[in-house]
Amino acid sequence: MRAARLSEAALEAASTSTFCNGTSIGQRNPPPMSLRRRLMLSALLALVAGVALASALAPAPALAGVVFLDRNGSGARDSGEPGVAGARVSDQQHTVLSGADGGWAIADAGGYGIVDVGAPAGYRVAGRFWRTVDVAGGAIDFPLVAAPSPRSFTFIHASDPHVSEQNVGRLRAARALIEARRPDFVLMTGDLVKDALRVGEEEARGYYDLYLTEIARFPVPVWNVPGNHENFGIERHLSLVSPKHPLYGKAMYRSRLGPNYYSFDYGGVHFIGLDSVDIDDLWYYGHVDALQLEWLAGDLATVPPSMPVVTFNHIPLVTAVEDLSGFESEPPAPTLITVGGKTQFRHSVANAGEVLKALAGHNYPLALGGHMHARESLRYEAAPVVTRFEQAAAIVGPSEAGPLTMTSGLTLYRVEDGKIDAGSFLPLEPPPG
């Protein structure tokens, strides 16, 4: 029968098939493999193993460049423009200081494909302070310009604009306050856009475009860190965004605003922008991840212990606002979250102790946060340094916290010889019309 003949044909074909070890099916006593075939097979296996081993052991790409004084403002290093020593360069994992000739190098680059620079005293960065690493390689140079290092200055802490076309007037009202006060810079601690969590790419891009357009009009530099709303598409049941999307999660923020954590010096104070929003599958929560803690230790190793350090991030290291708001068990933002089998608070940094341990031994007077939509100030008398944990009110509008209505506004800080005052609250009046 046809079926029988097919079986016989298949068996005959199988009897002439050879496994990679040289044994033919249907042969109980196969002939030994020839020496030539054995040598060829050994060479092939060695080649495959060698390629795999080389790939596993291949060093991470090296990064290098020069930090220089851009005397003519061209943005490129021209003849006669000297290197600048002591600039802090980071790939979000490693931190190095530029040498006497301005040169810097990171032998085993890590991080997320971004390099940023912090100018030493007497200089400021000309233009953007970060670069995207080119996969093709090449030097990454950073131009600086001469700038005084002031003994006294002011800065504004602002947060949570949640910008959209419907509420952009509030961010413009904040800009009007900033134009009137003329601080040296603004720290903006997250929730910059209305929502990238739960929407598709086009809508999320639109919010980012709007935010960038608005802050480009600010009269002073704005130093940003991400909030939970900047994490693109992670609530996939609503956004319908694939985790394989190239801008998924924190990638959209990095592509538009650069490093999600970094540091800079100003007026004798070291400012550290942290990303205190971590992601567990579909949900955000307060946490500083291990790579960032590694970076933080390396960054602080370049900072004198006596130099004042200010951290700024979105989800607070320490807050009492939830004591007013009360326990919330229902979505979209319950009080608790379980990550890796451990239940913890979601709206404060679960591993704040690790962050504070990294900062131990440094002069750490002020920790700034957002997220709670309330101007809050907590002070802990703890030797050897008294640290204040302070949150900013929300630009987007007043907020309810239990029986209280929290006023919308900004906080203005004054710094004199490294001493930071208690801050002045600037209420944000509703925009006209």
Contact indicator for 391, 369 with CB cutoff of 8 Å: yes
The chain-wide mean pLDDT, for the chain, equals 88
Q: What is the mean pLDDT of residues 369-389?
A: 93
Buried b (16+ CB within 10 A) or exposed e, 49-64: eeeeeeeeeeeeeebb
Handedness of CA 150, 152, 153, 159 (dihedral sign): positive
- List Cβ neighbours of 140 (8 Å cut-off, separation of 6 or more): 63, 64, 65, 115, 131, 133
HSE toward the beta carbon, residue 58, CA cutoff 13 A: 9
Counting residues of the chain whose pLDDT is more than 90, the rounded percentage is 79
Summarised one tens digit per residue, pLDDT across range 57-92 is: 344 568 999 999 999 999 999 999 999 999 999 999
Predicted local distance difference test score (pLDDT) of residue 381 = 87
**Which SS3 state, helix, strand or coil, does residue 346 take?**
coil
Summarised one tens digit per residue, pLDDT across range 186-202 is: 999 999 999 999 999 99
Give the burial class of 125: count Cβ atoms within 10 A of its Cβ; 0-12 exposed, 13-18 middle, 19 or more buried: buried
Which domains are delineated in the chain? 63-146 (2.60.40.10), 152-427 (3.60.21.10)
Predicted local distance difference test score (pLDDT) of residue 77 = 96
Using alpha carbons, select from 100, 97, 412 the residue that is nearest to residue 265.
Answer: 97
Predicted local distance difference test score (pLDDT) of residue 383 = 77
Tokens of 316: 């607070």
Q: What is the mean pLDDT of residues 377-394?
A: 93
Q: What are phi and psi of 169, to 5 degrees?
A: -60, -30
Say how far apart CA 285 and CA 314 lie, in whole Å.
11
pLDDT confidence tier of residue 280, bands split at 50, 70 and 90: very high
**Which SS3 state, helix, strand or coil, does residue 261 take?**
coil
Whether residue 226 has pLDDT greater than 50:
yes
Q: What is the mean pLDDT of residues 232-256?
A: 98
Residue 103: CB atoms within 10 A of its CB come to 17
Per-residue DSSP letter, 169: H
Kindly report the pTM of this predicted structure.
0.85
Contact indicator for 227, 191 with CB cutoff of 8 Å: yes
- 168-181 vs 201-215: helix crossing angle, rounded to 10: 20
